[in-house]
Amino acid sequence: MKYAFQEVVDEVSKLKDLDEAIALAAEREKEARTFYMEKAATTDSIQLKDLYKYLADEEAKHLHYLEEYRDTKKLPEIEIQIPSGQSFTPEFEETETGYGHMELGAIGIVIAAMRHERKSEYFYMELAKLSEDETRKKFFEMLAGYESIHYDLLDSYLESITDFRMQT
């Protein structure tokens, strides 16, 4: 993780101003949303589909927050919604041997998504550190917190897969 963190520190240090930082952050949020929507469209797993759609919606919210902050320089009104009745816990198909089944590709996608969320968290924390304005600092810390929550969500999904395999 040190490499990913250093990469982000170097990138943030090259930004000229707040507008450039927000433009880069907005581009990343768009890319992440596209990534999650593409994965939701191609998976057969209901849980993964729900997870990817949830994360795509979250990335769209982040983009909206960035645009609102860019335009007003005020903290946006935040809408926090916990998905009700939604379970991202994987369900495994029984095979002849009784072991669960999940495609390696799906796990790789979850790991890639985790890496993106962690790097985004680092990115926003670095922007917060460089912010002299308290409102701006809180804004970037808030976005970093959301990215951390997304990482934890993906991590718990991955952990549930690992726990299942360790119990078999």
Q: What is the pLDDT of residues 102-136, one digit of tens each?
A: 444 778 888 889 999 999 999 999 999 999 999 99
Element (H, E) at 156: helix 134-167
**What residue ranges do the domains of the chain occupy?**
2-167
Domain 2-167 belongs to what topology? Answer: Ferritin (1.20.1260)
What was the pLDDT predicted at 61?
Answer: 92
Backbone dihedral region of 85: left (phi > 0), alpha (psi from -120 to 50 degrees) or beta?
Answer: left
Contacts of residue 132, Cβ cutoff 8 Å, sequence gap at least 6: none
User: With a threshold of 0.85, does the pTM exceed it?
Assistant: no
Stretch among 2-11, 34-43, 156-165 having the lowest mean pLDDT = 156-165
Tens digits of per-residue pLDDT, 9-61?
888 889 888 889 999 999 999 999 999 999 999 988 888 898 999 999 999 99
CB 116 within 8 A of CB 32: yes
How far does Cα 89 stand from its chain's mean position?
17
Show the 3-state SS of 116-132: HHHHHHHHHHHHHHHCC
Say whether pLDDT at 98 is over 70.
no
